[in-house]
Amino acid sequence: MVLMSYAQAAVLAVQHEMQADPRVVVMGEDVGRGGIFGQYKGLQEAFGRERVIDTPISEAAIMGSGVGMALAGLRPVVEMRVVDFALCGMDEIVNQAAKNRFMFGGQGRVPLVARMPSGIWDASAAQHSQSLEAWFAHLPGLVVVCPSSPQDNYSLLRAAMQCGDPVVYMEHKTLWGLEGPVDDTLQVPLGQAATLRSGEHLTLVSWGRQVQVCAQACVELALKGIEVDLIDLRTIWPWDREAVLKSCARTGRLLVAHEAIQVAGFGAEIVATVAEQLPCKVKRLGAPRIPVGYSPVLEAQARVSVEATVQAAVQLMG
């Protein structure tokens, strides 16, 4: 176990996969100088410009090239800088990467990892602060991953690079400096949730940075006598139905909290699935349907806070 940051864990994951598999290449804007968050630091020096490829500023061209490389037998890691910029390459993601295996009867595979840092980026306003995981979960053919810790960012990124299908990999924009222990031998399969805290009164499900908020809320709820089963979903698609249903069957109450806008968020899918299968009280908690403001006061209105999470849990208990 080595203490490292979320960004350092990502660099180590890519380094190990590039060493293990010569088909793995990295491409995107600024990857040669380490990426805007340091998530590729030192990789071009180690592997050269032919495997860590700086590209022009065109997300459509970057993603289209990545899809072509994948179909030709490479395993590209495609950097979109932030998910908001990936919208310029949506046709290549939605109509090419996601559908190729189906349209051609499995003759073509797209083992591509599209890294799309997600979530509210402090003081960066509406065009740089979106959480769009539900968009990609809605698309058949895509795997969607949202790691919340340095360990998961190492293990899940390696699993994503080993996956034979396109993976939308959504690291949170403000977690890069988060430090934690990392075991570089630990394998975490895609689609497996993690139970971070055990309790008998309430199941609380989240992912990404919001897991940190929920963990703080659990401490406050414990002081009120409410013990929580905290589940980090980790993979949005496929999501770990078994883990969530097992917990809800025991607690009888489910709260799903996410940073994304509540309207049509992925939390709705989880609570609907649980409500259809169990006699369980359910509630979802997400951001209001507003753009994220630039000023701190407006930005705070778009966040799902510890206080809001505690309040929602208490209401559900009542």
Residues assigned a catalytic role? 128
Residue 109 Cα distances to 1, 20, 69, 135, 144, angstroms:
35, 20, 11, 22, 17
Place of tokens 């990392």: 182
Q: How far apart are CA 122 and CA 177, in angstroms?
A: 14
Q: Which of 71, 57, 72 is nearest to 27 (CA)?
A: 57
Specify the DSSP element, H or E, that contains 253.
strand 253-261
Place of tokens 């499995």: 106
Strands 202-206, 253-261: pairing is parallel
Q: How far apart are CA 197 and CA 219, in angstroms?
A: 10
The Cα angle at residue 160 between residues 158 and 165, in degrees rounded to 5? 145
The Cα angle at residue 80 between residues 57 and 90, in degrees rounded to 5? 90
The DSSP 8-state label assigned to residue 180 in this structure reads: E
